[in-house]
Amino acid sequence: MAESLTIRRPDDWHVHLRDGDMLRGVAPWTARQFGRAIVMPNLTPPVTTTAMARAYRERILAALPADADFEPLMTAYLTDDSDPADLAAGKNEGVLVAAKLYPANATTNSAHGVSDIARLDPVFAAMEESGLVLCVHGEVTDPEIDIFDREAVFIERHLERIVRRFPRLRVVLEHVTTEEGVAFVQGSGNNVAGTITPQHLHLNRNAMLVGGMRPHAYCLPVAKREKHRLALRKAATSGSGEFFLGTDSAPHARGDKESACGCAGIFNAPFALESYLQVFEDEDALGNFESFASLDGAAFYGLTANESSVTLVREDHVVPEVIDACGTPVVPFHAGETLRWRLASG
Ligand SMILES: NC(=O)N[C@@H](CC(=O)O)C(=O)O
Ligand SMILES: [Zn+2]
Ligand SMILES: [Zn+2]
């Protein structure tokens, strides 16, 4: 039984770092584990332009210790008014790495999202041309569609068309939660990939709803049936390059989650690697962990893997019940549970 594991320093291909005090409270947790991260733009107001992404990048760097070994990779939030020329310029100037498609009102701070996706075709064309990656929150918001079906329907209604129409556009189906999502990524060319969160590898919908409603297990897309969780575990641990690590760490104040209308999002940044690693060990796939965490995402984004490394050691530890994010209490994923691995050095 392996007692320690050393891998290239991993990257997080989907994270919410927020802004202000919350940013200062949570960004160090991500920078501790990851060399780079794709930073989501769903602030209020959202980060919609190259200039806003540049300014946000500066705020992130200012929120971290000067010696942090961390590079934020910036994204722009697509809206009905996105300017293809500005996005292409952002990519060419090295400010933007990706742009994010949120269907309007799909998730936290997505009220400005896109109302008619087909109208964005000129934007997708400019992204395909300039090499900007399209990151997708893949859920329809049609009130007729059951929340547990929203990912599968999004793929049918929108994603298949986008991928067919823009065959050179690199597309990431973020936080895949269904076997349909897994099959879509597997059935597409190598310009299409998926990120998988730790929570969707650990939790099914029973974990959220049986024996009491657990707001800290609620995120979007919502956890699905057990068969979907099993499909995700298989995809993540398979060693294929098309699925890679994206935590979707999404902190909300404890009071906003433990509420009559609780916010969606799970704060998993503090022990994300430990959480994923436990899954790889349980699936007998420790040998594929480095490729999922540290190699495949970089390769997809056309970046080289990090030079430095991190070591995880086998050591039981209890996850704190609450973490103080510069004055805001936030409940971390696995709060109160014992994890088997611990990040030793980075
Ligand atoms: N995942 C979530 O449940 N919430 C995210 C938004 C998102 O990624 O959809 C957030 O910003 O809080
Ligand atoms: Zn999302
Ligand atoms: Zn997210």
Question: DSSP string spanning 283-310?
Answer: TT-GGGHHIIIIIHHHHHHT-PPPSSEE
pLDDT at site 111: 81
Q: What is the CA radius of gyration of the chain?
A: 19
The answer to whether the complex's ipTM is over 0.90 is: yes
> 173: Cβ below 6 Å to ligand 1?
no
Q: Whose CA is nearest to atom 2 of ligand 1?
A: 265
Report the domain count for the chain. Answer: 1
Q: Supply the CATH number for residue 306's domain.
A: 3.20.20.140
Q: Exposed, middle or buried: residue 215 (CB in 10 Å: 0-12, 13-18, 19+)?
A: middle
Quick check: is 248 catalytic? yes
Ligand closest to 265 (CA) is 1
CB 175 within 8 A of CB 200: yes
pLDDT at site 286: 98
pLDDT at site 113: 84
For the entire predicted model, the pTM comes to: 0.98
Given the residues 69, 248, 256, 316, the one annotated as active site: 248
pLDDT mean for each 10 residues of the chain (346 residues): 92 98 98 98 97 98 96 97 97 98 86 89 98 98 97 98 98 98 98 99 98 98 98 98 98 98 98 98 98 98 98 98 98 98 84
Which structural domain, as residue segments, surrounds residue 309? 4-345
pLDDT at site 105: 84
- Give me the long-range contacts of 126-131 (CB less than 8 A, separation at least 24): 126/84, 126/85, 126/87, 126/88, 127/84, 127/87, 127/88, 127/91, 127/99, 127/166, 127/169, 128/166, 128/168, 128/169, 129/88, 130/87, 130/88, 130/91, 130/92, 131/91, 131/170, 131/302
